[in-house]
Amino acid sequence: MLDVRDLSVNYGTIRAVRGITFTVGKGELVSLLGANGAGKSSTIKAIAGALKTSGGAVTLEGRDITSANPEQVIRAGLATVPETRDVFPDLTVAENLMLGAYIHRRDHAGNRENLDRLHTLFPRLAERASQAAGTLSGGEQQMLVIARALMARPSVLLLDEPSLGLAPAIVERIFEMIETLKKSGLTILLVEQNVNQALAVADRAYVMRLGAIVASGTADEIRSTSDLSAHYLGG
């Protein structure tokens, strides 16, 4: 589904991502783990077309999206939830959601249907539809940005650290939602520092350190074979 081959990202002389290769199969939930600065966000941004790659190739369902811009990437079927979790604070929850449907803006019936589905999945967003997004709690804003990305009707969802800065009970709910999305057949690449929780929902995982992939396998294999604290904490 999503194939990343020899991907490199440089910031001037800083080599943030050093020729990494990984795949996410249809319907799979794959986690990309690693400590601060490992290169996870740079990888996500490069795939999403938000950052120029310095080498390598990204293909989605066999289609080369390496040099595509963010809108072209979304149109190809890949939506991203960045770690910045930015909502348009003065717009309502409903207006924020409709912005996510930009590429389908003429398909009113399809958007209504998708919105109903997302309201079932995120009832809190239905309750808060006319509230300004800036007044939502952190956990609600995270739900909103995930739901907004899903309004684009992607076949692959990239989630960058959805649990960042949220209270444990909220993190629990966010992960439950990620599992529900996986069960609905969505293909997901989940970037996380929250290793235990990410492995609990992932089919497979890759561990990054200093811009390279240092371990990969099923969640069980990663748990049992790699020295997670060394890779994850960079120790």
Under the rule (CB under 6 A), what is the footprint of ligand ATP? 11, 14, 16, 34, 36-42, 193
Alpha carbon 225 to chain centroid, angstroms: 26
> CB of 15: closest distance to ligand ATP in angstroms?
8
- 34 versus 162: smaller Cβ distance to ligand ATP: 34
Question: If you write DSSP's letter for every residue of 79-108 in order, what string do you get?
Answer: EEE-TT----TTSBHHHHHHHHTGGGTT-H
Nearer Cβ to ligand ATP, position 126 or 212? 212
Structure tokens at 165: 């800065």
Q: Is 15 exposed, middle or buried (0-12, 13-18, 19+ CB in 10 A)?
A: middle
Task: Report the alpha-carbon angle 78-146-109, nearest 5.
Answer: 75
Cβ proximity to ligand ATP, 163 vs 187, nearer residue: 163
Q: How far is the CB of 169 from ligand ATP (least distance, A)?
A: 22
CA distance 169 to 161: 16
121 vs 233 by CB, closer to ligand ATP: 233
Q: Output phi, psi for 234, to 5 deg.
A: 75, 15
Please state the closest distance from residue 111 (CB atom) to ligand ATP, in A: 32
Report the nearest approach of ligand ATP to the CB of residue 164 (Å): 8
Q: How far is the CB of 171 from ligand ATP (least distance, A)?
A: 16
Closest CA to 138 of 194, 79, 96, 87: 87
